[in-house]
Amino acid sequence: MTKKFLDLSGKIDPLLAEILHLISDISAQNNIQFFIVGATARDIFFELLHKIKSRRATLDLDLGIHVAAWCSYESLLIKLTESGHFRRSNIPHRLHYYKEKYPVDIVPFGEISKADGTITWPDKERMSTLGFMDAFNDCYQVKFAENSNITVPVASPAGLIIMKLISWSEAKSRAEKDAQDLELIFSHYQDLFENSTRLFDYPVIFESVQFDVQRAGAVLAGKDVTVILKDENAKEVISKILRNETRENITSQLAIDMMTKNRLNENEYEERLQQIFDFKTGFYL
């Protein structure tokens, strides 16, 4: 796992920090690694670090845990509930933090997954975790509390792009949410960390977008994703998405799902489609 450190002590909801430290302690006792994914990771990078509103608030915590077998996954959930702080729900992967009924979704990935990245829950429902391992290997280690040395891995923006692109293609029930998160990342990638400075190391990127900084950020996002994407199956899924969504004489469903205003707004559609093309440019750069 990549070691990139962020200190956000005192900057997040104390309740969330409390939950994360409880899960960190219990996971460490069971030799299980996890990382923050989904909306929680999105909000950490955009709302906390850069004061950019994500347009939809998250009310839960999404985690991926790295395990080899279902017995390890179930053991962790049992330990969490036995702590007295969490209780099970009628959703297999969801716990509630008992004090505030705060939902915590915990999805296993790693050796537990099949070759195609899917897992099959005990109730036979299938779920894809394709791309999770690459995202896990590009985490930021984030400190959340001043009185603790505990750090929690959080999926990087590039890792989030991988997971959300794949999720968009496979989970139609949440396609618009995934696509609008992608729009947020593409629109502000140049603002994250040192990306605005990094862009000057790639004059070819600026030239490819006629020196438009925001578009250059989307190209850089594509390049960064390519660097961390090692899983050939995940790479092929994303390549197929980009091929399909940028074909001539077709309407891009991804661009439509990325739109946040009136769906009849042709100008916004063209802007979202351009973001996909720019990301694709970086992906193959």
pLDDT exceeds cutoff 70 at 244: yes
- Write down the CATH number for the domain with range 4-155: 3.30.460
- Mind listing the pLDDT tens digit for each residue in 20-74? 999 999 999 999 999 999 989 998 888 766 666 655 555 689 999 999 999 999 9
Ramachandran area for residue 51 (φ above 0: left; ψ -120 to 50: alpha; else beta): left
Comparing CA positions, the residue from 283, 281, 272 lying closest to residue 186 is 272
280 vs 100 pLDDT, higher one: 280
Number of C-beta neighbours around residue 127 at 10 A: 17
pLDDT of residue 1: 56
In the three-class reduction of DSSP (H, G, I as helix; E, B as strand; rest coil), residue 281 is classed as: helix
46 vs 102 pLDDT, higher one: 102
Distance, CA of 48 to CA of 232 (rounded, Å): 33
Is residue 194 very low, low, confident or very high in pLDDT (cuts 50, 70, 90)? confident
pLDDT of residue 232: 96
Task: Count the residues in the chain.
Answer: 285
pLDDT exceeds cutoff 80 at 81: yes
pLDDT exceeds cutoff 80 at 237: yes
pLDDT of residue 50: 64
Average pLDDT, the chain: 91
pLDDT of residue 156: 95
pLDDT of residue 162: 98
The Cα diameter of the chain in Å comes to 58
Distance, CA of 89 to CA of 19 (rounded, Å): 17
- Mind listing the pLDDT tens digit for each residue in 118-136? 999 888 888 999 999 999 9
DSSP 172: G
On whether the CB atoms of residues 166 and 238 are closer than 8 A, the answer is yes
In the three-class reduction of DSSP (H, G, I as helix; E, B as strand; rest coil), residue 202 is classed as: coil
Residue 223 vs residues 19, 195, 284: alpha-carbon distances, Å: 34, 12, 7
Domain ranges of the chain: 4-155, 164-283
Cα dihedral 97/104/123/159 (nearest 10): -160
Residues with Cβ within 8 Å of 127's Cβ and at least 6 positions away in sequence, in order, are: 107, 118, 119, 120, 121
pLDDT of residue 125: 86
pLDDT of residue 106: 97
Number of C-beta neighbours around residue 9 at 10 A: 14
pLDDT exceeds cutoff 80 at 167: yes
> The tokens of 205 are what?
């990127």
pLDDT of residue 56: 52
Is residue 239 very low, low, confident or very high in pLDDT (cuts 50, 70, 90)? very high
pLDDT of residue 277: 98
Percent of the chain with pLDDT over 90: 70
Which pTM was predicted? 0.93
On whether the CB atoms of residues 17 and 145 are closer than 8 A, the answer is yes
Distance, CA of 73 to CA of 70 (rounded, Å): 5
pLDDT of residue 55: 54
